[in-house]
Amino acid sequence: MSTTTVSCFTTKLKQFSGTGFPAWGAQVKLVLEIKGLWNAIQLPRPTDFDLKAERDAAVAAGAGTSSASGAPLPSGTVSTAVSTTPLLDCLMKQKIASTIILAALSEKLAAEVYLLDHLLAMLRHLRMTYNVKCSASVGAAKREYIGLYLDGDESIIEHIQNTRRVLDELQEQHVLISDDEKCRNFMQSLGPAWNGFVGVLESCATFELMIQRCHAEAILRDQQKNRRSSSVSNSGKAAAAFSAEQTSGKQK
């Protein structure tokens, strides 16, 4: 196979860095099936002894044909028979498949697997790498979820956004969290400023309704805060105006 042909097929594979193996592995299988290489990688890698025995048998078979007919074989007949033996063909297909896979790996992962003697061993190693990284990612997301806490005057809107983000990450990792658990964890994550509102949140039937109710309350509190600030500001202006008027009257 030419280098151009191999390069054409390697571009069909996305680069793999150690995560997302199921989708990438399915793509590997599809590409190798299209190229006619998948069946070859299911077979054991031919040993040098097996290749030599098959080559010798092919040469002997070619020589035997020549002796039986009494006529010399056409030039190149024996060498052609040797070059197309089944085991050699299998080995070449396995090497081409390995080249395609290695070209799609990050430098770090390619260094980890290129010495493995069979493509299936490479794929098993990559699957293990994916599972390890997946588990680490799940653990980090769980710790972040448990550690969510709204402290002091921090924004409840930002707290809601962080909660949604972590829950989305856990869902992507196929971690199932019941709606009741989401509600309970969210109420426990609220700081003292929201203690008086927990009773209202407990009446919400679902986590989504709880989030919406909390979001609406946050908007209402901001509006009230702005009105108070505006009222204080207006009162200050009125007092200043009155004081200025009194001062002006005394001067007259």
SS (H, E, C) the chain: CCHHHHHHHHCCCCCECCCCHHHHHHHHHHHHHHHCCHHHHCCCCCCHHHHHHHHHHHHHHHHHHHHHHCCCCCCCHHHHHHHCCHHHHHHHHHHHHHHHHHHCECHHHHHHHCCCCCHHHHHHHHHHHHHHHHHHHHHHHHHHHHHCCCCCCCCHHHHHHHHHHHHHHHHHCCCCCCHHHHHHHHHHCCCHHHHHHHHHHHCCCCHHHHHHHHHHHHHHHHHHHHHHHHHHHHHHHHHHHHHHHHHHHHHC
Q: Do 159 and 111 belong to one domain?
A: no
**Residue 16 CB-density burial (10 A; 0-12 exposed, 13-18 middle, 19+ buried):** buried
Q: Look at residue 135 and tell me if it is in a domain.
A: no
Q: Do 53 and 116 belong to one domain?
A: yes
Q: Look at residue 23 and tell me if it is in a domain.
A: yes
Q: Do 184 and 226 belong to one domain?
A: yes
**pLDDT of the residue at 153:** 72
User: What global pTM score does this model have?
Assistant: 0.45
Q: Do 183 and 77 belong to one domain?
A: no
**Residue 95 CB-density burial (10 A; 0-12 exposed, 13-18 middle, 19+ buried):** middle
Q: Do 110 and 17 belong to one domain?
A: yes
User: Tokens 């070059």 correspond to what residue?
Assistant: 83
**pLDDT of the residue at 62:** 65
Q: Do 64 and 120 belong to one domain?
A: yes
Q: Do 155 and 206 belong to one domain?
A: yes
Containing structural domain, residue 11: 3-130
**pLDDT of the residue at 1:** 44
**pLDDT of the residue at 54:** 83
Q: Do 10 and 70 belong to one domain?
A: yes
Is 13:30 a contact under the CB 8 Å cutoff?
no
**pLDDT of the residue at 217:** 92
Q: Do 8 and 118 belong to one domain?
A: yes
Domains: count for the chain: 2
Largest CA distance in the chain: 143
Is 94:45 a contact under the CB 8 Å cutoff?
yes
Q: How far apart are CA 201 and CA 211, in angstroms?
A: 9
**pLDDT of the residue at 10:** 44
Q: Do 47 and 78 belong to one domain?
A: yes
pLDDT along the chain (252 residues), means of 10: 44 74 87 91 86 83 54 50 76 91 89 88 86 77 90 86 91 85 93 89 94 92 79 56 58 58
**pLDDT of the residue at 147:** 92
**pLDDT of the residue at 169:** 85
Q: Look at residue 99 and tell me if it is in a domain.
A: yes
Q: Look at residue 250 and tell me if it is in a domain.
A: no
Q: Do 121 and 155 belong to one domain?
A: no
Listed residues 130, 163, 178: the one ending a domain: 130
The encoded tokens of residue 227 equal 């009105």
Q: Look at residue 49 and tell me if it is in a domain.
A: yes
Q: Do 126 and 161 belong to one domain?
A: no
Q: How far apart are CA 240 and CA 252, in angstroms?
A: 19
**pLDDT of the residue at 175:** 84
